[in-house]
Amino acid sequence: MTIPARTHSTVDDQIAKDILFIKGVNKFYETQSGTTHALENINLTIKEGEFVSIIGPSGCGKSTLLKILANLEKPSSGEINWGEKSSKDQIGFVFQDSTLLPWKNVLENSLFPLKVKKMDTRENLERVEYLLKIAGLDSFKKAYPNELSGGMKQRVSIVRSLSFDPKVLLMDEPFGALDAMTRDKMNIELQRIWNETKKTVLFITHSINEAVFLSDRVVVMSPRPGRIDRVFTIDLIRPRTVDVRETIDFVKYVKEIREVLGNDD
C-alpha cells in the first residue's frame, strides 16, 4: 500500500471536499445547580483529510463538541451535518485515558472493535496488521498492556480506533498524560499515521505547540460559553520534524495563538 506523502500542510481547497458541517451549535446542560451554557453558536466546516485541533481554556466545551459530533450528546440547538450520511457511522475515538483490555494482547485489543462490530473480514485484519506496523508495534503484537509504556498503549488505542477504517478520528487530549519526550514522539507517530491513512482528524489539546505542530487548522475557543474566537491556518511544510518548532513561522503561530488565548483571561 503506497500512498503519496503529503508535502503541504493545508488540504487542497480545490480537491478536498467538505465532510462535516457544524452549524449554529449551542449546548446547555441542565443540572441541579442550574443551567450551564457550554457551547455558543459554533460554526465550522471540516474538509476530508484535514487535521484540525481545538484549543481553549478548561471547561470551554471542547469535549462537549466532540461528544456532539460522536452523537453521544445532542446539541440544544443547531445542526451537525455530514457530507455523506455514512460518515456519521464511521467515527473512531481516542481519549486521554483510553483503556486497553488487560487480559488481551496488543493484537487482540487492536482487533476488538472488529470483533464487536462483526467486521473481522480479511481486509480489516490485514489493515490492523499494517497499522501495527506503521505504529511501530509489529514486534509487540503478543505483549499485554501491563508490559507496555504509556506511549505504546496510546499507539495501540490509535490502531484500535482505526481498525474499522473510520473516515473521521476524534481525539480528546490523547497525549495529555504522557511525559514531554514521549509526547513529542507520539506527535511524530501520529503525523505519520495520519499521513499514511488520510483520515480526517479532530484533535483536542491544551498544548499550543502540539496543535501547531500537527494541524492544518487550529480552532481557538473562548472561555465558557465556548465560542470560536479564531481559526488559524497552519501553513508549514509537511512532513514536519521537531526542528520545525525552531522556525520563525512556527514561533509566530504559537505567539499569535497564545495572544488570542491570553486575551480571554
Ligand X SMILES: Nc1ncnc2c1ncn2[C@@H]1O[C@H](COP(=O)(O)OP(=O)(O)OP(=O)(O)O)[C@@H](O)[C@H]1O
- Contacts with ligand X by CB under 6 A lie at 29, 31, 36, 38, 56, 58-64, 224
Tell me how far apart the alpha carbons of residues 230 and 215 are, in angstroms, rounded to a whole number. 14
Nearer to ligand X, 74 or 133 (CB): 74
Q: Which residue has the cell 511524530?
A: 188
Q: Report phi then psi at 105, rounded to 5.
A: -80, 180
> Cβ of residue 203: shortest distance to ligand X, in angstroms?
13
At residue 181, φ and ψ (nearest 5 deg) are -70, -45
Picking from 168, 173, 150, 164, the residue whose alpha carbon sits closest to that of residue 100 is 150
Shortest Cβ 59–ligand X spacing (Å): 4
Question: Closest separation between CB of residue 207 and ligand X, Å?
Answer: 12
246: left (phi over 0), alpha (psi -120 to 50) or beta: alpha
**Nearest-approach distance from CB 220 to ligand X, in angstroms:** 12
Beta carbon nearer to ligand X, 66 or 193: 66
CB of 89 or CB of 97, closer to ligand X: 97
For ligand X, give the closer residue by CB, 60 or 148: 60
Between the CA atoms of 83, 94, 134 and 47, what dihedral angle is there, to the nearest 10 degrees? 20
Question: Which residue, 11 or 65, is less far from ligand X as judged by CB?
Answer: 65
Closest separation between CB of residue 118 and ligand X, Å? 31
**Residue 66 burial by Cβ neighbours in a 10 Å radius (0-12, 13-18, 19+):** buried
Residue 48 or 172 with smaller CB distance to ligand X: 172
> Please, are residues 107 and 142 in contact by the beta-carbon 8 Å criterion?
yes
Cβ-based nearer residue to ligand X, 46 or 65: 65
Q: Shortest distance, CB of residue 206 to ligand X, whole angstroms?
A: 6
* Contact present, 26 and 40 (Cβ < 8 Å): yes
* Nearest distance from C-beta of residue 142 to ligand X, angstroms: 35
3 residue type, one letter: I
The CA distance from 206 to 245, in Å, is: 17
Regarding beta strands 91-95 and 168-172, do their DSSP bridges make them parallel or antiparallel, or are they unpaired? parallel
